[in-house]
Structure 1
Amino acid sequence: MVYTVTDVSGNVGTEVVKKASIWKEIILAFIASLPFFTHGLEATELYATAHSGHFIDSPEQVPWNATALIVAAAVTAPIYCYVIDKHGRKVGLFIVSLTQGISCIPLFLPPNDTNTIILHTVAGISTGGLFTVLPIYICEISSIESRGFSLSLMSAMTTLGYVMKLVMDLETMMYVMTAMVMVQLLSMLWLIESPSYWVKIGKVEIAIDKMCRLKCLEDDNPNLIKCLETLRDESDRAKSHGKLTLVHIFRNLIWRDAIKIGVLVHTTMILCGSIMFLDQDKTLLQLKIPSDPDRVLVLVAMFVGSFFTSLLILYAERKVSTNLILMTYLQVNWLE
């Protein structure tokens, strides 16, 4: 929709073009991030992650439950990417929520090693899609202005799930997990399929309709037309390279830099989590702080830090936020 501003004498002035609303993008990103909250609930007590090491060791000292989770996630992650490429991002989101619901079933069975390994295997299947499908969907539905904040919700929602350990017992968390899965499946009704997917498969008319709903704009709005042209150019440029291979990825300077940044950020995140959870007593002792056997300090610090970082992304550049995180990590290591 284009608004025309006129003065009192009737002369036509500057045209004011309605801008896209980013609030709907943020709301949809929040809804899409709900599985990360469920993941945080599960990871606190129910299965192993990089931040919580509850292992069942065999006589050969093999952590079978953690191994089952990692192998299942590694195998299913490429399958998820293939599925969402062929059938759409919402299909992948539905499968992730569905497998999270299936992972709740072993929780209500008698506890034994077999049920625990089954739980970790199913949880690994959902985790494989959690960190592939959801970031892709959130990235594609978000504009440049909201993309950084929307993607940071993944970490914030996960740590919020961690914090629930402080206010819930195990049985309550199991029921909350089940309720969250139902909410996630119902929320699929409000999610909008990524316009990038429709452009990719050549259904431009559907892409325009989805983009109108996503941006809250009319189909003749210049801003919407510009976004659509950008998606078309990206799709044509990607198709011009032919079949995507690892060689194409490493030859592309932008993708190469993105891989380096991703490896740096994720390595720092895993190292920070492992150090805090595995060496917390030593750290607190050196800082002359009383022991914290319930890990209250760590969980609250992760929760506050993740939300502070999300807010920082809104008002500062990504590089500033990354440097601040790295400086904090180095400071913790120096204190140790």
Structure 2
Amino acid sequence: MIDVGAVSAWPSPALPYLTRDKSEFPVSIEEGSWLPSIINISALFGNIPAPIIMNRIGRKYTLLVLGVLQLISWILVNLSHNYTILLAARLLAGVSIGGTFCMLPIYIGEISAKNIRGFFLSLDKIFMNGGAFVINTLGAFLPYETMNLIMIAVPIAAICMFPLMSETPYFYLMKDRDEEAINTLMILSAVKNPEMVMEDITRMKEAKQQFNPIRKKFSATVVHLSHQDMQQ
């Protein structure tokens, strides 16, 4: 979320440099207007597939994919020597932002206990605002190239800490991997007795059973509509 905030606020310190005559590749005002707005368009391509991907490969590895996309985006920004590459970097950043907004609250909700869930869900907004503050501070005191280079450290740090992350118990239950779900929930709850987490496991199983009929009905409706379209 630090990176999301930084990417969203990046045009604020970057555009004054890019639109001046001394820029390595001067950007017109019209071209510059696309740099902050294009991420809102490409974010749709992160919003839509994120729920599908996270149910296929898991919440944990979906976050890894988003982190890699953020890293590639910053690398492109640092290597961009023309407007086209810079715009492509912003497009990729938008995909990552869209996926993060869709995915991260689900991940936080599934790994955190009820009594602290609201606190952690609030933290992601705080860190997003912190990222915007960081990028504007760097832009105020450092050259454009140095600012971009420093921001690469954010996704790199997230990827390096990836092995410390845990998959969510709910995802394991979705895949009928009950033992892994119990072990993971025991680690997250800091308990050693499986009986202490069985109440939560039962609740998750009930939620899964309630969700499955809805998902099957939705899938059947999509198939039926697709079949009708083909006939038409």
* TM-score normalised by the chain length of structure 2: 0.78
1:85 shift after superposition: 0.8
Residue 159, structure 1, aligned to residue 124, structure 2: no
Aligned partners of 2:107, 2:217: CA distance in 1, in Å? 19
- Among 34, 48, 58, the alignment partner of 1:88 is 58
Residue 120, structure 1, aligned to residue 90, structure 2: yes
- Among 201, 215, 238, the alignment partner of 2:175 is 201
- Among 176, 183, 190, the alignment partner of 2:157 is 183
Q: Once the two structures are superposed, what CA deviation does each residue of 1:277-306 show, in whole Å capped at 9, x if it has no partner?
A: xxxxxxxxxxxxxxxxxxxxxxxxxxxxxx
Aligned partners of 1:196, 1:189: CA distance in 2, in Å? 19
- Among 129, 137, 146, the alignment partner of 2:99 is 129
Residue 228, structure 1, aligned to residue 198, structure 2: no
Query: Which residue matches 1:41?
Result: 6
* TM-score normalised by the chain length of structure 1: 0.55
- Judge conservation of contact 2:75–2:152 (CA < 8 Å) in 1: no
Question: What is the letter of the counterpart of residue 35 of structure 2?
Answer: N
Aligned partners of 1:242, 1:120: CA distance in 2, in Å? 34
Q: Once the two structures are superposed, what CA deviation does each residue of 1:49-95 show, in whole Å capped at 9, x if it has no partner?
A: xxxxx99526xxx9443453222210232212111011100111001
Question: What is the letter of the counterpart of residue 43 of structure 1?
Answer: S
Query: Alignment length, in residue pairs?
Result: 203
Distance 1:244 1:132, change over 3 A: farther
Query: Which structure has the higher relative contact order (CA within 8 Å, separation 6+)?
Result: 2
Query: Which residue matches 1:217?
Result: 191
Q: Once the two structures are superposed, what CA deviation does each residue of 1:202-249 show, in whole Å capped at 9, x if it has no partner?
A: 110110111111111124333x11111111111111113343649xxx
- Judge conservation of contact 2:186–2:193 (CA < 8 Å) in 1: yes
Q: Once the two structures are superposed, what CA deviation does each residue of 1:113-159 show, in whole Å capped at 9, x if it has no partner?
A: 21221121111111121101111101111121111110111110011
Residue 150, structure 1, aligned to residue 120, structure 2: yes
Aligned partners of 2:82, 2:214: CA distance in 1, in Å? 51
Aligned partners of 2:88, 2:127: CA distance in 1, in Å? 25
Residue 241, structure 1, aligned to residue 214, structure 2: yes
Aligned partners of 1:215, 1:157: CA distance in 2, in Å? 24
- Percent identity over the alignment? 24
2:49 is paired with a residue whose SS is helix
1:102 is paired with a residue whose SS is helix
For structure 1, which segment, 106-115 or 127-136, has the greater mean C-alpha deviation from structure 2 after superposition?
106-115
Aligned partners of 1:242, 1:161: CA distance in 2, in Å? 36
1:106 shift after superposition: 2.2
For structure 2, list consecutive stretches of 5 or more residues without a partner in the other structure.
14-18, 20-27, 220-232
Q: Once the two structures are superposed, what CA deviation does each residue of 1:247-300 show, in whole Å capped at 9, x if it has no partner?
A: xxxxxxxxxxxxxxxxxxxxxxxxxxxxxxxxxxxxxxxxxxxxxxxxxxxxxx
1:166 shift after superposition: 2.5
1:46 shift after superposition: 4.1
1:192 is paired with a residue whose SS is coil
Distance 1:102 1:137, change over 3 A: same
Large movers: runs of 4+ above 6 Å: none
Distance 1:228 1:171, change over 3 A: same
